[in-house]
Amino acid sequence: MKEGDDSPKPGGNSKRQSKILTLKNQLGLHARAAAALVNVANRFSSDIQMQYNRETANCKSIMGILMLSAPFGAEIEFVAEGEDAVQALKEIEQLIENRFGEPE
Amino acid sequence: MSGYSKTLRGIKISSGIAIGKAVVLSHSAREVSRRIISPDEIQTEKDRFISAIKLITEQTDILISQMNQRELKKIGPHLNVQKMILSDLRFTEDVQHIISTDLVNCEAAVSKAFEKYSKLLHSKEKALLNARSVDIKAIEFLLLRVLSGKIRDISLLNEEHILITNDMTPAELYYYSKQKVTGIATEHGGRNSHTAIVARSLNIPAVTGIPNLTNIVNTMDNVIIDGLNGFLIHNPNQRQIQEYSEKKVSFCSFTERKPDGSEHIFVSKDNQRVFVYANIDFPEEVDTAISLGADGIGLLRTEFYFIERPRAPSEEEQFRSYDAIASRFYPREVTIRTLDIGGEKIPGFISPHKEENPALGLRAVRFCLKNKNLFLTQIKAILRASHRGNVRILIPMVSRIEEIEETLNIINEAKTILRQENKKFDPDIKTGIMLEIPSMIFILEDITGYVDFVSLGTNDLVQFIMAADRGNIELFDSASSLNPAIIRVLSLIFEKIQKTQKPVYVCGEMAAEEENIAVLLGIGYRRLSMSPANIPFFENFIRRLEIQKAASLVKEIISMKSEKEIKPAIERFLNENN
């Protein structure tokens, strides 16, 4: 990882990534699922926002995520900006695909 | 200060019995000081807020570090959620922002922030009673308690205590369980809240949903938590204390003594084998039932999977849950009751309809037959869990043959689909009905031609025969299971089923009282299903009971005309028996 320039360049598209993901776990983004999402997001230096139902929340804030009240089947757009944006979205996608470890 | 004994009804969230002095941890409106501050107090209030959070976080970390592997797995995640919410930037910034712009103290700011959150959540989730908002509320209460200095170190108390509070976080519950707290009762909370799940994992009797509780009960009042029925008894009388002490002692000693369940045999003094099954409300009770030596599950209630949820559980989710339980009990039998909801207990994902008389309304199998997809999904999941051959289906609230026919058709349809899908199941799965509606008694001979077994739901059966609500304290005499009509009906049902040679089970809390057990065994019933917490009490009782003599007792009381005669006769019998 490069140490020098860690601030994302304005308009620097190479570091801004976005992806729409659909919630597959029955209970949607409940407290423990939200906590798991925060844990993953916190491992990255990128700024990660999520958008659902015209509202935005910071992926590193459990309260923000809970307030979105995203249910099963919700389509959420994740936007990551920073050095490790690609990897961050990849791991978030994995978490959601695995239904946060919950049964189908 | 003692007063009259009073029974308060709530929702049972964790079974078992606790008796002790109350410790009220509350922060009712009058105790939390919310006030306006001057601008030079802003920093002080912000600091108070930060140190309260720091204190809770540190204590939570200590708790987590002391957990064993099992606790870490089951309880750890809940504590982490609490920690994460308290350290959340949005939350801490919101509160500090309210302090400095509204010029209010930290308590007022915390309440305002949480009020905003719960409004937001409620507007989105409508009527849904969701665990999300419940869990957040518990954290608000915790913060307010810490801020008002109401949190106390009860580790110094040397008697067993029962905690009475508005609501409680999983972390607090875990902490207090390590102290001398043996039971809890709260005003708020739900069956599926994190706190309820933790209470069940820790085997702490708990009741929730008792309005105004913290104002009714004072610290050091005597209370009993009846986690089997969802009652709190405030200022119990001597008789109640004795009755509950006996139940509790047998429960504690048995769970501690035989963790592997190997030595339990349910045999009467005159060497008759009685089969004891467990009534299971929550998945967490399965381990308790196994350790108490249950011969199987006589009644696995499935409502838990449906209530307080935004959507119906999928076939896969149900299958996994049922299958896990069936595998834990294998080769012992597991009887799964299909969904018994309707009336008042309608899950959030089905639009509620008002009924004049929910107890006599569209519920259980009637409801399921009208929601065929829901029913078919559940039946498929139960069938798939039957692949080992130890699962059976139980249909509740049947009142007509047509309902049995329709249900059997759906079971056959489910089997056909599963064959097409190449999924394993037990093709000879046994199906039974719950006998709880009196109409069934008159057509019992016809019914037994359709089903493999019959389970008596004594709670509803007594209520319907007597037209009296068991929970209504005014109707205590009318809803008694010792009146002549009930004893004769129980005997009549037994004789009729006996002729068909099909097995009959008794599922209901009748098996929790000595008088009733003597009557049931005396009539001839040998398969009883009860709450796990009642099993040790039952085991203890039948070891001293001669069933031969109970049979003579039944012969004697069956011709008696009133409960006034029956009760003393049974009491005499029990005294001689002891």
Q: Average pLDDT for residues B389-412, to the nearest whole number?
A: 97
* Mutation site, A55, A67, A99, A102, interface B, largest B CB count within 10 A: A67
Measured distance CA(B419)–CA(B346) in Å, rounded: 32
- Number of folded domains in chain B? 2
Question: Which CATH number do you get for residue B533?
Answer: 3.20.20.60
Lowest mean pLDDT among B48-57, B125-134, B336-345, B404-413: B125-134
Does the residue B358 lie in any domain?
A: yes
Does the residue B251 lie in any domain?
A: no
* Residue A49 to chain B, least CA–CA distance (Å): 13
Residue whose token pair is 């019914």 = B447
Measured distance CA(B247)–CA(B534) in Å, rounded: 7
List CB contacts (< 8 A) between A38 and chain B: 84
Measured distance CA(B295)–CA(B217) in Å, rounded: 40
Does the residue B95 lie in any domain?
A: yes
* Residue A45 to chain B, least CA–CA distance (Å): 16
Residue B18, SS3?
A: strand
According to DSSP, the β-strands at B453-457 and B430-435 are parallel
Same domain, B88 and B54: yes
> Six-digit token pair at B308?
């307080």
Does the residue A4 lie in any domain?
A: no
Answer whether A66 sits within 8 Å of B78, measured CB to CB: no
Q: What angle do CA B550, B554, B560 make, to 5 degrees?
A: 145
* Secondary-structure breakdown of chain B: helix, strand, coil percentages, each rounded to the nearest 5: 50, 15, 35
> Over 90: is that where the pLDDT of B537 sits?
no
* Mutation site, A23, A24, A29, A32, interface B, largest B CB count within 10 A: A32
- Residue B431: its pLDDT value, please? 98
The residue type found at B79 is L
Same domain, B438 and B289: yes
Interface predicted TM-score (ipTM) of this complex, two decimals: 0.79
Q: Which of A27, A30, A45, A83 is catalytic?
A: A30
> Over 50: is that where the pLDDT of A3 sits?
no
Write out pLDDT tens, residues B485-509: 999 999 999 999 999 999 999 998 7
> Over 80: is that where the pLDDT of B137 sits?
no
User: Which structural domain range is residue B504 located in?
Assistant: 258-577
Same domain, B262 and B213: no
Same domain, B67 and B95: yes
- Number of folded domains in chain A? 1
Write out pLDDT tens, residues B197-217: 778 777 889 999 898 898 888
A4 φψ region: left (φ > 0), alpha (ψ -120 to 50), beta (else): alpha
> With the C-alpha atoms ordered A93, A94, A99, A101, is the resulting torsion angle positive or negative?
negative
List CB contacts (< 8 A) between A35 and chain B: 77, 80-81, 84
> Residue B81: which of A26, A27, A32 has the nearest Cβ?
A32
- Cβ-Cβ contacts under 8 Å between A and B: the total is 70
Measured distance CA(B442)–CA(B488) in Å, rounded: 14
Same domain, B230 and B333: no
- What are the residues whose beta carbons fall under 8 Å from the beta carbon of B118, sequence distance 6 or more? B133, B136, B137
> Over 90: is that where the pLDDT of B513 sits?
no
Residue B1, Cβ density class (10 Å: 0-12 exposed, 13-18 middle, ≥19 buried):
exposed
* Residue B379: DSSP 8-state: H
Compute the residue count for chain B. Answer: 578
User: Which structural domain range is residue A90 located in?
Assistant: 16-101
* Residue A26 to chain B, least CA–CA distance (Å): 7
List CB contacts (< 8 A) between B121 and chain A: 66-67, 69
> Residue B314: which of A66, A69, A104 has the nearest Cβ?
A104
Does the residue A5 lie in any domain?
A: no
β-bridge mates for residue B1, sequence order = none
Compute the residue count for chain A. Answer: 104
List CB contacts (< 8 A) between B132 and chain A: 30-31, 66, 69
Same domain, B208 and B325: no
Q: Chain B: which residues have CB within 8 Å of chain A? A: 77-78, 80-81, 84-85, 88-91, 94, 117, 120-121, 124-125, 131-132, 135-136, 194, 309-311, 313-314, 316-317, 320-321
Does the residue A10 lie in any domain?
A: no
B26 confidence band (pLDDT: 50, 70, 90): low
* Mutation site, A26, A42, A50, interface B, largest B CB count within 10 A: A26
Same domain, B424 and B532: yes
Measured distance CA(B483)–CA(B564) in Å, rounded: 9
Does the residue B342 lie in any domain?
A: yes
Residue A104, SS3?
A: coil
Does the residue B497 lie in any domain?
A: yes
Does the residue B450 lie in any domain?
A: yes
> Over 80: is that where the pLDDT of B397 sits?
yes
Question: Which CATH number do you get for residue B88?
Answer: 3.50.30.10
Does the residue B243 lie in any domain?
A: no
Catalytic residues of B: 194, 507
Write out pLDDT tens, residues B283-303: 878 888 888 889 999 999 998
Q: How many CA atoms lie within 13 A of B297 on its CB side?
A: 31
Same domain, B385 and B493: yes
Q: Average pLDDT for residues B43-67, to the nearest whole number?
A: 85
Answer whether B77 sits within 8 Å of A72, measured CB to CB: no
DSSP letters spanning B462-531: HHHHHT--TT-GGGTTTT-TTSHHHHHHHHHHHHHHHHHT--EEEESGGGGSHHHHHHHHHHT--EEEE-
Nearest to B452 by CA among B335, B280, B317, B332: B335
Q: How many CA atoms lie within 13 A of B410 on its CB side?
A: 25
Q: Which residue from B minimizes the CA distance to A99?
A: B317
List CB contacts (< 8 A) between A60 and chain B: 89
Same domain, B233 and B265: no
Lowest mean pLDDT among A23-32, B174-183, B438-447, B542-551: B174-183
- Residue B133: its pLDDT value, please? 59
Same domain, B223 and B263: no
Q: Point out the domain boundary residue: B178, B210, B238.
A: B238
Same domain, B375 and B522: yes
Report in angstroms the alpha-carbon separations of B454 from B273, B281, B440, B577: 20, 20, 11, 31
- Residue A9: its pLDDT value, please? 45
Does the residue B30 lie in any domain?
A: yes
Question: Which CATH number do you get for residue A62?
Answer: 3.30.1340.10
Average model confidence (pLDDT) across chain A: 84
**B440 neighbors B401 (Cβ within 8 angstroms):** no
- Residue B132: its pLDDT value, please? 57
Write out pLDDT tens, residues B67-114: 888 778 877 887 888 888 888 988 999 999 999 999 999 989 998 998
